[in-house]
């Protein structure tokens, strides 16, 4: 398996807080993602953000938000099997749950990280999960193979919130409807699905023209409230 480079950001002091596993998008541990991690930590969480490609040539690399960075990130996903993603998930959750400064275990993620967060919810230690515009959830596109994520939805025991923008071309309206239908069919009738009018894919990334600061604030406020209500 090997080491997994991980950033941990937590409030100052010795108090224990809920732990929040945060999965990045394909660009890994960029300053944009770390700004979001810091903001969530300021709300009273021990935020742990691992690299999603920790074992190959992208280990230790924060990709640029350009076409070259995008292609390298997509190639990293294509070279990683669902089994490998799952093994890394177990390792990071084991570490987070074992920390003396962590009480409950929550998960969140963005884009491919939203899909990984959904799969992390299979772990019975996870009390609540927020998936921001998860890609590939409706069709199993995750990495080198077809993921069985929605087929395993019944394994989720914690609370679940999924957030999309209405203008997300990667997960259009019919795909969102399919996700919700299959979640209900799996018995997850208390799942929350939020669709933000006008939101693009990756509207929470604070670099580039798709960023929507107002929707970002709303999404983070609602996510924090969702975790605190758990």
- Per residue in 117-151, pLDDT (tens digit) is 999 999 999 999 999 999 999 999 999 999 999 99
pLDDT per residue over 35-67, tens digit each? 999 999 999 999 999 999 999 999 999 999 999
Residue 131 annotated in active site = no
Alpha helices (H) along 45-202: 67-78, 82-98, 112-120, 173-185
* CATH 3.40.630.10 given to domain 6-228: no
**Active site residue: 88, 104, 111, 212, which one?**
111
pLDDT per residue over 2-11, tens digit each? 899 999 999 9
pLDDT of residue 1: 61
- Residue 183: pLDDT over 90: yes
Q: Is the dihedral of CA 146, 25, 22, 79 positive or negative?
A: positive
Domain ranges of the chain: 6-228
**Active site residue: 25, 88, 104, 168, which one?**
168
Binning pLDDT at 50, 70 and 90, where does residue 189 land?
confident
pLDDT per residue over 18-42, tens digit each? 999 999 999 999 999 999 999 999 9
Average per-residue pLDDT for the chain: 97
Cα(61)–Cα(192) distance, integer angstroms: 34
pLDDT above 70 covers a percentage of the chain that reads: 100
Q: What does the pLDDT average to over 103-128?
A: 98
Binning pLDDT at 50, 70 and 90, where does residue 161 land?
very high
**Active site residue: 123, 138, 201, 212, which one?**
201
**Helix count (H) and strand count (E) of the chain?**
6, 7
Binning pLDDT at 50, 70 and 90, where does residue 74 land?
very high
């Amino acid at each position: 398996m090997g080491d997994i480079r991980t950033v941990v950001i937590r409030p100052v002091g010795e108090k224990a807080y809920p732990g929040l596993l945060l999965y990045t998008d394909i660009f890994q541990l960029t300053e944009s993602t770390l700004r979001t991690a810091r903001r969530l930590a300021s709300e009273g969480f021990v935020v742990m953000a691992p690299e999603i490609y920790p074992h190959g040539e992208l280990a230790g690399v924060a990709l640029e938000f350009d076409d070259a960075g995008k292609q390298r990130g997509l190639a990293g996903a294509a070279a990683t099997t669902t089994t490998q993603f799952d093994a890394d998930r177990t390792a990071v959750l084991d570490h987070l749950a074992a920390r003396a400064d962590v009480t409950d275990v929550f998960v969140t993620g963005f884009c491919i990280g939203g899909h990984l967060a959904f799969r992390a919810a299979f772990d019975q230690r996870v009390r609540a999960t927020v998936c921001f515009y998860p890609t590939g959830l409706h069709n199993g596109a995750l990495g080198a193979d077809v993921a069985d994520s929605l087929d395993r939805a019944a394994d989720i025991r914690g609370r679940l919130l999924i957030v999309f923008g209405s203008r997300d071309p990667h997960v259009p309206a019919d795909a969102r409807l399919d996700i919700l239908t299959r979640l209900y069919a799996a018995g997850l009738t208390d799942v929350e699905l939020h669709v933000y009018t006008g939101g693009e894919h990756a509207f929470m990334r604070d670099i580039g023209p798709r960023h929507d600061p107002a929707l970002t604030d709303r999404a983070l406020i609602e996510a924090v409230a969702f975790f605190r209500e758990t």
